[in-house]
Amino acid sequence: MAIIYVVAVIYILVTNLTNIPAMIGTIFSQAFGTNEVLGGTFGAVVMNGVRRGLFSNEAGSGNSNYAAAAVHIDIPAKQGMVQAFGVFIDTLVICSATAFIVLLAPESTISGLSGMGLFQAAMTYHLDGLGAPFVVVLMFFFCVSTILAVAFYGRSAVNFIHESKYLNIAYQAILILMIYIGGIKQDMFIWSLADFGLGIMTVINILVIIPIAKPALDSLRSYEKELK
């Protein structure tokens, strides 16, 4: 689905080639302009970018380690490279593509909108009648894949604590409840809860991986020597 999404974005960029320079100028002027820097907006943009970036790729939080650990590979550094490449694709490619879609839409089309309403309005402008159905299908597959991945991460963590049947049942019940609440809540509570949870996980994970940093770096250097 990500490939189809990128193809759609490439089509949108090609059909809006003349507007791309203005879009890039808007990004830099509104993020790094004098008024933004002096007014503190720059700091807010950076902080929000860090939060959304962590939410997007979970780099450093330890979540994706469960998926990486499930892979049988002879050189751990290879899987580390795959994980790093995943961060690049997820954040720099997919998230930037979404920003381009919104920024290339006329202000009159997206004015006063936010969240999914903003994205859907921009897609409808670019793809006409196919915009809304495309967003529905896109979100369905992205949501399903995300739920499956997070469910696997959570179950792996629960089983690491204790492989109890009742503990797994309790986890599954909580997971279903959270999916339901996340689907109907439209305020910032869900985002704040996710930011808080990921922040705590990241701090704990960083403290845990510091002692094993040397073996990890040794594995990376050994792998780099093999590539030369």
pLDDT in tens, 9-35: 999 999 999 999 988 888 887 766 666
At 9 the pLDDT is: 92
At 207 the pLDDT is: 84
Query: DSSP label at 33?
Result: -
Residue 47 has pLDDT above 80, yes or no: no
Encoded tokens for 4: 């189809």
Q: How large is the average pLDDT for residues 179-195?
A: 76
pLDDT band at residue 50 using 50, 70 and 90 as cut-offs: low
Pairwise CA distance, residues 67 & 80, whole Å: 11
Q: How large is the average pLDDT for residues 215-221?
A: 84
Query: What's the predicted TM-score (pTM) here?
Result: 0.74
DSSP H helices in the chain: 2-15, 20-32, 34-38, 41-57, 65-69, 76-87, 96-103, 107-110, 115-127, 131-161, 165-184, 189-209, 213-227
Cβ contacts of 42 within 8 Å, gap of 6 or more: 31, 32, 36
Residue 113 has pLDDT above 70, yes or no: yes
At 121 the pLDDT is: 92
Pairwise CA distance, residues 138 & 1, whole Å: 7
Question: pLDDT, tens digit, for every residue of 129-179?
Answer: 888 899 999 989 988 988 898 888 888 888 888 888 889 899 999 999 988
Pick the range with the lowest mean pLDDT from 133-137, 189-193, 212-216. 189-193
Residue 67 has pLDDT above 80, yes or no: no
The highest-confidence range among 45-49, 71-75, 162-166, by mean pLDDT, is 162-166
Among residues of the chain, what percentage have pLDDT more than 90?
16
Residue 37 has pLDDT above 70, yes or no: no
